Structures are given as C-alpha cells and as structure tokens.
Amino acid sequence: MDKKILVAIDGSVYSLNSIDYLIRLFRGDKNLSLHLFSVVSESGTGQNWMYEVDSLRQHSPLAERRRVTAERYLRDAKTRLIRNGFSDDSVTFSAEITSSQSVAAIHHEANKGIYDALVIGRRGIGKVGEMFFGSVSAYLVEKCHEVPIWIIDGEITSSRFLLAVHTMPKSLMAADHLGYIVQANPEAEVLLYHSKILFRKEPKVSLEELHQMWGKEWCDKYLDPDNYLFYAHAQVLKDNGVRKECITQLPMGTDLDASRDLIKHAKKHKCGTIVVGRRARGADKGLFGGVSDRTLGQAQNLALWLIG
C-alpha cells in the first residue's frame, strides 16, 4: 500500500465524522491504509507517587483504564471502516499513554515520516469549538508542517474538492498532494479557483523555486504565469492520474477576503473539501499564509487540507 494516513481518534462524534469522511472518499482505494491513533494523557491522574513505591509500574491504574477505553474506541472505528469497504489489513490502530500533552504526542507520531497526511476532527465554531481549536487544531496547524493536515468540520458527503490556485510554489505542491491522494477515486472532482484580493498586488511567480521543484523542462512546457498557473495546476493533477474530465477551472473571483471567497465558492459549487497550500513554518504571514489561517477559522461543515 503506497499511501498511509494517520487518523486521530478520541471516541467523540467528531472522530466519527472523520471516519465517515474517509469512508466516503477512500472505501475503494486498495493503495491506501489508515493508522488510527489515540493518546491517553497521564498528567493529572494524581498517582505519580506510585512509581516511587513500585519501580516496575509503568503507568497508573487510571491511565491504564483510560487506555483500555481508548482501544475500545479504536476497535469500534476500525469495525466501522471494515463494514464500509476497507480491508482488515489496511487499518491498524494504537493507543499511547504519555506524560506530556496529548497534542504533542500526536505531532510526534505524525512527524515520524511514514504518513502522507494527518486527519483530525474539529468540534466546530463556538465556545466549545474554540476551546478545542485552541488546544489541538491550532497547535498542530502551527507546529506540524512535516505532513499535510486534514481538518474535518461536521458531516461531509461531497467528493468535490475546491483547490485554491495561486502563483506560489506551495499551491502547486497542494495540487500534487491532492492528485496523489485522489487518483484512484473515480467520483472525485477537482474545481480550480483563484480568488484575487482587492487592492493587493498578486505575488510574482518564483521561476527559480519552481524550477528547483519541478524541473526547467516541465516548467517551460506547462507554466502559465499570466493565467495564475491554472494550466500548471491542472497538469500536476493529470500527472498524478486525475482524469481531465474530472478537472474544472472556475472563473476567477475577487473579494476583500480571499478566505471568505473560497468558502463561499466551496458552498456554491457543493464542494466538501478546500485544499490550500501554505507557507513554510517560520515564514512571514503574507497573502497566502494568511488565507489558510483565516479559512480554517471560518470553515464550517467543510474539510480543509493544509499542505506545507
């Protein structure tokens, strides 16, 4: 199996939304496997004194009970996947007890270098959602640039993807990731869309960086800087096996806020997922980085893939 996805599971309805999202997109993909991952935090159990009494004890009884519960959630999630078309050997799971923050353990697991994406469910917008977003999603979005992050908000049934097209190299990387992931899904449709921000200049195409990433020969053949790289994005998708008839270029739009415009067009065209490239960790928050952050903050009942 070529593609491997890490899925954070906590037994909540939000985790089930993530599982159902994956079933919708990948139930027929024989080249994709899932690893379901739960984290049990030992901090706050109030029983660390036991380690001093019993040197052979690895974890407190409360932490062990939490791990057993987490494994039950994981088994239930695997059963749901198998019942809906996944093979038994394509789904693995593990529960980890950690003395550090749970979100740090998820980041550590994702950072091992064996995953193509990290999937997390979000509890939506509002007071509870803001608490979860601040403690888990925001941390991973800020810290985890090693693998793409897929954030699932609500129940999503559409197999349509809105790919945010820009002249930034990371935008083409987002197209490359999307094409690689959905190549085996005959129902997947990709809509290419560029949102121009009013009163702002478009960033110039970095030919040198694109040559390093894609090669000069490919760039000379397919780059179209005067057309915001629409043709290049479509070619990257096709190079990954996405059929031409599954790719649609939408008319360019303008707005004061590109993130709001992306969400508006995703809803208008019944897209379940928005795919956005973003700047590397530590880079200045320019136009593109700001768009991904704001889109994440506003998206409801949508999946958002952040690449880079």
Do 3-153 and 160-307 have matching folds?
A: yes
User: What pLDDT is recorded for position 54?
Assistant: 42
The answer to whether 74 and 36 are in contact (CB under 8 A) is yes
Strand residue runs (E) in the chain: 3-8, 32-41, 91-98, 117-122, 149-153, 160-164, 189-193, 195-197, 247-249, 253-255, 273-277, 303-307
Tokens, residue 289: 């980085």
CATH class (in words) of the domain with range 160-307? alpha beta
Residues 6+ apart with CB under 8 A from 294: 257, 258, 259, 260
Residue 97, beta-bridge partner list: 40
- According to the model, what pLDDT value does residue 33 have? 97
Cβ atoms of 14 and 155 closer than 8 Å: no
Q: Domain spans of the chain?
A: 3-153, 160-307
In this predicted structure, what is the pLDDT of residue 257? 82
The CA–CA distances, whole Å, from 290 to 19, 80, 138, 208, 222 equal: 29, 37, 14, 24, 27
Predicted pLDDT of residue 171 = 93
What is the third-level CATH fold of 3-153?
Rossmann fold (3.40.50)
What span, in angstroms and rounded, lies between the C-alpha atoms of 308 and 305? Answer: 10
> Which helix H or strand E contains 207, and what residues bound it?
helix 207-214
pTM for the model: 0.87
The pLDDT of residue 48 is 43
pLDDT in tens, the chain (308 residues): 589 999 999 888 889 999 999 999 999 899 999 999 999 877 654 444 333 444 434 667 778 888 899 999 999 999 999 999 999 999 999 998 887 788 889 999 999 879 999 999 886 544 333 334 446 777 888 888 889 999 999 999 999 999 999 888 999 999 999 999 999 888 899 999 998 876 567 777 888 899 999 999 999 999 998 888 999 999 999 999 999 999 999 998 888 788 889 999 999 999 999 999 987 665 555 544 466 666 776 778 899 999 98
